[in-house]
Structure 1
Amino acid sequence: MRNVILNMSVSLDGYMEALDGDISWHLVDEEVHRQVNGFLAPAGAFLCGRRNYVMMDGFWPTADQDPDSPEPMREFAAIWRDTPKVVYSRTLDRVGRNATLVRDVVPEEVRALKERPGGPLFVGGASLAASFLRHGLIDEFHLYVHPVILGRGHRLFPELEARTDLTLADTRVFSNGVVLLHHRRA
């Protein structure tokens, strides 16, 4: 069975973006980007919320066409373009190449997707991650904690009715101060 993995960047105080949507504080240097690429390359699909999909698909499909793009960016452009996407949105009318539009998170449908052969399923976007978390659908948490305190913004995790116990699977400290925390559901 495939795992559903939340793969996100977060500030030390738990925000995934500033109030205005700013993510310029993400310290994704070559070392971090190569690790991310290696981790995401075997993905079976990217499961995206609307905002996450629109942001990602607005840049990555052609990022490798810029001759000034560093190699890790060109590599990720191919990963993004070639990996199937499931886009959860009630407002989009259509999605691009290699993407499927789904209106709601239906736990049974996600579990059926996990049963199919292929690589892991990566969840992106705070609202979608919150929905998956409420339904108990996230198996692993792969969080890049950036050395910044935003003070306010859009929190990665919502308030929940019950706690979720986790087991630490791995850590990695990058030279730029980013710390990767990899947890699995207990």
Structure 2
Amino acid sequence: MGKIVLYLAMSVDGYIADEQGGVDWLVGDGSQPDAPGSYPAFYKTVDAIVLGWSTYHQIVTQLSPDSWPYEGRPCYVVTHRQEADREGICFWNGELTALADKLKAEYTGNIWICGGASVAGQLLEEDRIDQLWLSVIPVVLGKGIRLFPELPQALPLKLAETNHYNGIVDLVYEKQ
């Protein structure tokens, strides 16, 4: 059985994008510019990827318009739009929790919740996230798109791991 992992970067004050949805601030402090960070090792553990429409759209129009960065991994884009599936990309119009449960049963590796805030928030509210892997970027944005929504109850977590590189701190929490 796979593990649902929210792996995201956020500002020190909990934002995953600026007010315009921009992410150009997702860089370290320059103290270790050649540090590979946690992404390469994490990505090797990923069997499938889930992302929302806004994240998908940002990838294909701004961040990587010429090539799909997750080639070779099945990707599920959660959307209300009626889109035709593409090679390696399934547009999911059903219940998000049903998708999470399906993928968790289908795969043995990590199911990466790649973005964005709406997808992450819904899965947190429905208690479907097994692990939160948060890369805290050394910047305070002050406003923007928040990662965490208001939740109906507290979500207790257990710190499983920490790492730091180039001014970025990775906090890995397991659900209790």
- With the shorter chain as reference, the TM-score category is 0.7 to 0.9
- Per-residue CA distance 1:99-144 (angstroms, 9 max, x = gap): 1111133424422321113321000211111111111110000000
| Structure (1 or 2) with the greater strand fraction | 2
TM-score by length of 1: 0.83
- The answer as to 2:48 corresponding to 1:45 is yes
Distance 1:57 1:30 in 2: 26
- Letter matched to residue 86 of structure 2: G
**Distance of 1:49 and 1:92 partners within structure 2:** 14
Match of residue 17 from structure 1: 17
Q: In 2, are the aligned partners of 1:6 and 1:142 still within 8 Å (CA)?
A: yes
Distance 1:2 1:134 in 2: 19
Match of 1:167 among 150, 158, 175: 158
Q: Which amino acid aligns with 1:47?
A: V
2:126 and 2:43 map into 1 onto residues whose CA distance is 23
Does the aligned pair in 2 maintain the 1:3–1:139 contact within 8 Å? yes
More helix by share: 1
Distance 2:76 2:127 in 1: 18
CA change 1:23–1:155 in 2 (3 A) is: same
Q: 1:158 aligns with which of 136, 149, 170?
A: 149
| Residue segments in structure 1 that go unaligned for 5+ positions in a row | 65-76
Cα distance between partner residues in 1 of 2:67 and 2:103 = 29
Aligned residue among 94, 105, 109 for 2:95? 105
Alignment of 1:1-186 (within 5 A): 1-27=1-27, 30-33=34-37, 35-58=38-61, 59-60=63-64, 62=66, 77=69, 80-124=70-114, 125-174=116-165, 176-186=166-176
Identity of aligned residues (%): 27
- Which shifted more, 91-100 or 145-154? 91-100
How much does 1:81 deviate? Answer: 1.1
Q: Please report the RMSD computed on the Cα atoms of aligned residues, expressed in angstroms.
A: 2.0
Aligned residue number for residue 68 of structure 1: none
